[in-house]
Amino acid sequence: MPQSPGSQRVCFLLHLKPDRVDDYLAAHEHVWPEMLDALRAAGWHNYSLFVRPEDGLVIGYLETPDFAAAQQGMAATEVNAKWQAGMAQFFDNDGAHPDETMRPLTEYFHLA
């Protein structure tokens, strides 16, 4: 599917505690409907998460008109605060919520 005009592709990495990968995956079997609604409303589209189970590497991908605005939109929601607090146990981020540690990778090639 082609990317929407005025949209940017964002790819980021996160790191799970390797011994918590299975628990993290289980927590995502039923993402709260209000969390999904908040993501959509904040501009998160084509959002996917991938994991490498052997070491807990998580790769995230999404498309959005403005990633900073999409992050701010989610940060302003109560459901995100609750979700991030629950997910923090799976990451080794020195107390930071996982969404606060997302740093986009630099896209250097794209074949449309």
pTM of the model: 0.88
CA angle 70, 107, 96 (to 5 degrees): 45
| Of 40, 43, 41, residue with least CA distance to 6 | 43
Active-site positions read: 28
Q: Where are the domains of the chain?
A: 8-101
Q: Domain spanning 8-101 has what CATH number?
A: 3.30.70.100
Residues 46-90 pLDDT 10s:
999 999 999 999 999 999 999 999 999 999 999 999 999 999 999
pLDDT of 1 higher than 50: no
24: amino acid identity, one letter: Y
pLDDT digits (tens, 9 = 90+) for 31-47: 999 999 999 999 999 99
